Structure 1
Amino acid sequence: MRDGGVGSLEVSRTPPTLQLDAVQPTKLTAAPGALPAPTMVTEPKPGHTQAGKWNTKNLALRLGADLVSAASAAVMVAPIISIIDRSIMENASGRRPLVESLKSSFQTLLRTPHCVVFSKPFALIFALYGGTYLTANTLDTATSTARALPATHITSGTAKFAASSAANIGICIYKDQVFVRLFGPPGVTPRPVALPSYLLFAARDCLTIFASFNVPPLLGPVLSRHVGDEVQRYVSGQTMAQFAAPAAVQLASTPIHLWGLDVYNRPAVTSWRDRWAVVSKNWAVSTAARICRIVPAFGVGGVVNFKVRKGLMEKLA
């Protein structure tokens, strides 16, 4: 305000400047009961949320790797296992001694391998172990996908045991009922397999599956810690566990297997002592044969499946 003349005052027309810079936003508080300020929500792009939670990279190719790994393992072990299974069945039924049956079948494999490869026993064994490995592999892939884990991830929990057992038992029961009819007691008309035999075969397979799929991932790191570096240059703890666990469990699973066979071969026998006499008589030789069988089945086959799948998954990760 300045002097405009005698007896008068002139008011300044310049508006005052508001000092908005002095107001700090962090110090502003909403009045009690005021509605919250609206929040702008941006719609996520299609697939954005799932991509953050799921590992779907090369999923189709990873499933293909599961199939190739399982088939590679199965085709390697099927000839040997089909021969050993036949010899155990023929020995238990009294058709032929185990050694004689093995000798005859291996001669056939060497002289006319196509007769073995294109036979029903080979196809059943290929389906059995190919299906079992494929189930275990796809479960690992499903887990790694749903939990956003690396493609090479391997599970060892209850889900894997349940899924692998279901696949193995389902196919193996069908395989066993075909084998006992093909290689049962001579001169006896093939008949349906009784429920007790099925239950015994299922118990046998549960033991084998647990020792083959669940024990090695747990036992392998333990062996690696206790085995010297010199040994692990040639064989890892995981590989040792993959061979040792399935072989060791045959000491318990073989008598269960023989009991199931005897129920089919001698349905009229009701005495447990009579059955145990036959089981104990064939226990040692059958255990040795089943260890020789299980080493390629879940030892060699397990290592081949593991290494082929790991190599393929590392390229797709």
Structure 2
Amino acid sequence: MDPKPGSGSTAKWNTKNLALRLGADLVSAASAAVLVAPIISIIDRSIMENASGRRPLVDSLKSSLKTLLRHPHRVILSKPFGLIFALYGGTYLTANALDTATSTVRALPPTHVTSGTAKFAASSAANIGICIYKDQVFVRLFGPPGVVPRPVTLPSYLLFAARDCMTIFASFNVPPLLGPVLSRKLGDEVQRHVSGQTMAQFAPPAVVQLASTPVHLLGLDIYNRPGADGWRDRWAVVRKNWTVSTAARICRIVPAFGVGGVVNFKVRRGLMERLA
């Protein structure tokens, strides 16, 4: 009898159209990244400027959105846009390539999507690696006014890494597990308008911001106020900015891992179905 796909060492690798499948991974990731990078770079800037005291979050948002509408090239050709594109393009590409590698060595269909530890580890490594560089550039660009930029310290880096691990887990590992459950639970009438998989892609990344935002704000405060008077003083600043920053990060994460996740998933699936 022929071995079942992925059943052991005798199974053949699924290398059909492998180069084109990797190209589909790249196209899917780039499509998602270029779509979400403008708004995310604006929101990230507003959060940084609000935390550093440069200007209020709403004022920063209004100013950047006006620039995007009147002079979009200034945003698209800016360093913040490039960093955000690299961040999410690299994260999605890593996750996509891991799915393709898994489908190849286990002889599974090209549309196969994983949800295990390997994807979490690979996606987190890519996201954290690029995000650490992005954060240290952003805090220098949009740090406290009149203060000479200084190196980001290890505690801030560790807090940023913890923040990203929480978001990556909620964005890449939870949706493949939660999607089928929601699809079974939701009625046909609801799923005519929105599928369980789409809901699973949007909800977890947004909800996790309630916990990850204070971690993010603490990392920023350690950089912005190195001489703060103890953890109680820092917690007061975090608590003051928690609500508005959580709202902004939810607005940020919905396009980043909600809209971006859906675009990446659907573009990749459509391309892979043609290559199967």
Shared fold per TM-score greater than 0.5: yes
Deviations 1:31-53 (A, max 9, x none): xxxxxxxxxxxxxxxxxxx9951
Tell me the residue number matched to 1:32. Answer: none
Q: Which runs of 4+ in 1 moved over 3 A?
A: none
Q: Distance in 2 between matches of 1:297 and 1:191?
A: 28
Q: Report SS of the residue matched to 1:210.
A: helix
Tell me the residue number matched to 1:224. Answer: 183
Q: How much has 1:225 moved relative to structure 2? A: 1.2
Match of 2:132 among 152, 173, 197: 173
Match of 1:284 among 221, 232, 243: 243
Which structure has the highest helix share of the two?
2
Q: How many equivalent pairs are there?
A: 268
Tell me the residue number matched to 2:51. Answer: 92
Tell me the residue number matched to 1:249. Answer: 208
Q: Distance in 2 between matches of 1:155 and 1:53?
A: 19
2:11 and 2:106 in contact (8 A); partners too: no
Alignment of 1:120-199 (within 5 A): 120-199=79-158
| Unpaired segments ≥5 residues, structure 1 | 1-49
Structure showing greater radius of gyration is: 1
Match of 2:18 among 48, 59, 62: 59
Q: Distance in 2 between matches of 1:241 and 1:273?
A: 37
Tell me the residue number matched to 1:272. Answer: 231
Higher relative contact order (CA closer than 8 Å, sequence separation 6+): 2
Q: How much has 1:270 moved relative to structure 2? A: 4.5
The alignment status of 1:213 with 2:172, answered yes or no, reads yes
Tell me the residue number matched to 1:75. Answer: 34
Deviations 1:137-159 (A, max 9, x none): 00000000000000000000000
Q: How much has 1:134 moved relative to structure 2? A: 0.1
- Say what the alpha-carbon RMSD is for the aligned residues: 1.0
The alignment status of 1:102 with 2:61, answered yes or no, reads yes
| Unpaired segments ≥5 residues, structure 2 | 1-8
Question: Which amino acid in the other structure matches residue 108 of structure 1?
Answer: T
Q: Distance in 2 between matches of 1:228 and 1:208?
A: 29
Tell me the residue number matched to 2:253. Answer: 294
Q: Distance in 1 between matches of 2:90 and 2:50?
A: 27
Q: How much has 1:234 moved relative to structure 2? A: 1.4
